[in-house]
Amino acid sequence: MKKILTLGAALTLAAGLSACSVGDNNGGSTSQPSGSAAAAKKEITFLVFETDNLTPQFWDDNIKRVSEKVGVTVKKIVAPGDRTAYAKQLLASGQFPDVQIGLQDLPSFDGSGNLAEFSDEDLKDFLCPKCSAIKGRTVQLPANTQTWQVFYRKSLFEKAGITAPPKTYAELLADAEKLKGKGVQPFVIGGNPSWGSSLPWTGELTTDLYAANPDWMHQRRDGKTKFDSPEFLKATKKFADLAAKGYLNKKDIGQSYDASQAAFLDGKGAMYPMGSWFAAASDASKVKDDIGIFAWPADDGSFHLPSFTGGGLTVNAKSPNADIAKKFAVAWQTDKDYLDTSAVADALFPAIKGYTLPAKDGTVFKAVYDLYRQAVDQNATVPSFGWEQGDDGMIAGMPDKWNLSAQDIITGKKTPEEVLKYLDTEWDKSS
C-alpha cells in the first residue's frame, strides 16, 4: 500500500541514517562500478527535460561526472515538451532512449517489456525500493519524495484583506471571492503539459477521496469502485465549481509550465497549486519573501498532504547496452553531488539511505519541507492522485485522459458526470 511505503520512506529520510550509502565523488558506493575498457567504448542515450530550474548546465555537469565514474559515454536527448509524451513518440518510432528520467504513466511503457527491472542489489541504497513497483518489479528508481501544496502571494492576500491562509474549504472559497472582488485572479494554472490543469483536482481528491480512503486506486483496479462513485463525483464537482466561478481562468490552459510559473511569480494570480519542486524557483526569485504555502484545505479543516516517492530513472530493457545503462542509472541516483544539486535546483527530498539535505537558506524550501515533516509526524500523508506510479497508479493510458479531462471541465466542454462516465468507459476498455 503506497501510503505505508511512502510514509516509511519519509520517516527514515527524516531520521538521517548514520551509515552513509550515498556515492561519493570518487565512486565510493558499492553500487557504482569502476569503468572498464569495454564499458568506456559504449555509448548510451539519456532522455532529460530542461526547465528554468534544470538548466542545460545542470544536466551537462552531472552527466559528465557520473558518466566518467561509470565509464560510459552519454548522449543527452532533450525532450522538446512533455517528456512522457515525447518518450512515447520515441518508443513508437523505435528510438526509445537507453535511459529516461521522470517518466509518468509507467504501465504504458512496461506493457511490452520495455522497462528493465532493477535488482535488490541495485536498490539496496533506496529507502523505499518497491515504491512505484509494477507487480513487484521496480522499473523506475524510487529516487525522491515530492509533495503537492498551494503556494500563495502574501501581498495579494493582504490586498484582499486576507490575514492568513485558509484552514477550511469554505475559507478557501471565501478568500477566492475576496481576491476576485479586488481584481486579482485567485488561481494560476497551466495546460501544457496537461497535468498543469489537473492540480486543483488533485487537491480536491486529497481531502474528499484519499483522506477517507487511501486505497481507492487499488479498489478501482480491482473493480470495487468507479470514477462515478459519490465521493469522486463530489470532489470533481468542487473542482468544476472553481472554474465556473472564475477562480480558475480557462485561458490559463493555453500556457506552458514555465509560463504559469512566471505568471505566479509576476503576481498575475494569488494561488498556485504545484509540486514541491516549485520551491526552488520561488527561492531564486525576487519575491521569495512574499511567498507562503498551505495544504489544500478540507471541509472540516483536517490536515492532509499528498506525497509520492519515485520519479527516478528508467532503462530501456531492449537496449543492447541495458546493463551499463542500469549501472549508470543507479550511479546517477546515488551520486551525492547530483543529489545535492537536484535538491537545490529542483527542491527534491532524495529518498536515499544516509543522505541529508544540504544546508539551505531558502525560506520557501524550508516551509515546504517543514509542512512535509508535519504531515509525516501526524500520519497525514496521502497518495497524490494522478501522480502515483506502477501498481499504485492508474492503468496504462489513463493519466493522460484524466489530465485532459481536467481541461474539459475547466472549459465547460463536459460536465463532471460526463467526464467521470468517460473515464470509467476508457478504463474498462483498457483493462
Q: Does 118 lie in the same domain as 62?
A: yes
Q: Does 184 lie in the same domain as 291?
A: yes
Mean pLDDT of 169-194: 97
pLDDT of residue 23: 56
| Rg of the chain in Å (alpha carbons) | 21
Please, are residues 344 and 358 in contact by the beta-carbon 8 Å criterion?
Answer: yes
Tell me: pLDDT of 29 over 80. no
pLDDT, tens digit, for every residue of 230-245? 999 999 999 999 999 9
pLDDT of residue 150: 98
pLDDT, tens digit, for every residue of 313-362? 999 999 999 999 999 999 999 999 999 999 888 888 999 999 988 886 68
Distance (Å, whole) CA 17 – CA 8 = 13
Q: Does 134 lie in the same domain as 70?
A: yes
Distance (Å, whole) CA 2 – CA 154 = 34
Mean pLDDT of 52-66: 95
Distance (Å, whole) CA 190 – CA 27 = 40
Tell me: pLDDT of 28 over 50. no
Task: Say what the pTM is.
Answer: 0.84
Pinpoint the alpha helices (H) of 93-251.
106-110, 154-159, 169-181, 195-205, 216-221, 230-244
Judged by DSSP in three states, 99 sits in strand
Tell me: pLDDT of 33 over 80. no
Question: How many domains is the chain partitioned into structurally?
Answer: 2
Q: Does 87 lie in the same domain as 15?
A: yes
Rounded alpha-carbon distances, angstroms, from residue 115 to 100, 137, 290, 313, 324: 10, 10, 43, 10, 14
Q: Does 313 lie in the same domain as 296?
A: no
CATH number, position 171: 3.40.190.10
Assigned domain for 197 exists: yes
pLDDT of residue 16: 37
Range of the domain at 105: 2-145+309-361
Q: Does 151 lie in the same domain as 135?
A: no
Listed residue (206, 267, 203, 269) closest to 241, CA to CA: 203
Q: Does 323 lie in the same domain as 175?
A: no
Q: Does 157 lie in the same domain as 140?
A: no
pLDDT, tens digit, for every residue of 381-427? 999 999 999 999 999 999 999 999 999 999 999 999 999 999 999 99
Assigned domain for 375 exists: no
pLDDT of residue 19: 34
**How would residue 22 be classed by pLDDT, with cut points 50, 70 and 90?**
low
Q: Does 52 lie in the same domain as 167?
A: no
Assigned domain for 216 exists: yes
List, as one string, the DSSP characters of 261-293: HHHHHTTS-SEEEEETTHHHHHHTSTTGGGEEE
Q: Does 270 lie in the same domain as 224?
A: yes
Distance (Å, whole) CA 329 – CA 315 = 8
Q: Does 82 lie in the same domain as 203?
A: no
How high is the mean pLDDT of the chain? 91
pLDDT, tens digit, for every residue of 270-296? 999 999 999 999 999 999 999 999 999
Please, are residues 273 and 384 in contact by the beta-carbon 8 Å criterion?
Answer: no
Q: Does 17 lie in the same domain as 156?
A: no
